[in-house]
Amino acid sequence: MNDPCFIARLHSKNRIHFLRIFQYIREFNAQCQLRFDDNGIRIQVSDPSHVSMLNISIDRTFFASVVGRGEIGVSSVTIVKILSFLEGDIQFEYNAEKARLKIWGSEGMFETSCYEIDSELFEFPMDEILAMTPIEIFGDGSTNDIIETVRKWSSRFQAEDVSLSIVDDTLSIETDTDETNIKTSFSIIGGQGNWNAKIRANYFTQLKKTQAVVTIYWKNDFPIMIEERGDDFKIQTFIAPQMMEDTMGDSF
């Protein structure tokens, strides 16, 4: 693992954010690779079908103190269980000789095995991302209104897919279920051109509620990006639009 190192203290105020980041990762993959450098931690995870991919950046200022280098693979399932148990400040220390990560707080100490995960660091085309258009709701609304709408459709009517379309300054979202067809619209700021896409509803419903600002970005012939941006972390979810469940091809 290229002599990796990870020694850190996480302040209690960011514990819940760290927990929710790993809860979100767990929805995509049971394992993930943590990559450390002078800037902090980088995590990239794809779901089994390679329809979606997470690109997570956690600044070193997220931690009260941190020394990290190299890469370690961890179980996102186990990390969630440990972080859910602990409260207050949390300490981390990786033992390279044993390939184990020690995590402890006032409630107890845990050691979990780490893995070598064969995953390549993927560089997203920044020129394409910079050309993406954010969906900004007009007035007092926000992206959370879209997310909560899809959550309600999924909970009450078992909506599996949701279609999004933009025509000028209007965003329409629609779903077909066994019971009904549902459609609603939002006025958006700075709409330009036309765009439509269809994605699985779970990419909205599994988003964790944090204090981060959530924005949806679109660009024709490019994956949708849902970005959560906190003070010291950023989570980008890239989702390949789907026409039919059985035609979800690799996009990353």
Averaged pLDDT, 1-29: 90
pLDDT at position 192 is 67
Count other C-beta atoms under 10 Å from residue 57's C-beta. 17
Task: Give the torsion through C-alpha atoms of 121, 126, 132, 137, to 10 deg.
Answer: 70
What is the average pLDDT score of the chain? Answer: 88
pLDDT at position 215 is 92
User: Does residue 73 surpass a pLDDT of 50?
Assistant: yes
User: Does residue 252 surpass a pLDDT of 50?
Assistant: no
pLDDT at position 218 is 93
Asked if 61 contacts 32 with a C-beta cutoff of 8 angstroms, the reply is no
pLDDT at position 250 is 44
Residue 53, C-beta contacts closer than 8 angstroms, at least 6 positions apart: 44, 45, 46, 47, 122, 237, 238, 252
Question: Which pTM was predicted?
Answer: 0.86
Confidence tier at 243 by pLDDT (50, 70, 90): low
Determine which of 35-39, 164-168, 248-252 has the lowest per-residue pLDDT on average. 248-252
pLDDT at position 142 is 87
Q: Which of 161, 197, 165 is nearest to 176 (CA)?
A: 161
Asked if 77 contacts 26 with a C-beta cutoff of 8 angstroms, the reply is yes
Averaged pLDDT, 221-236: 92
Higher pLDDT, 48 or 62: 62
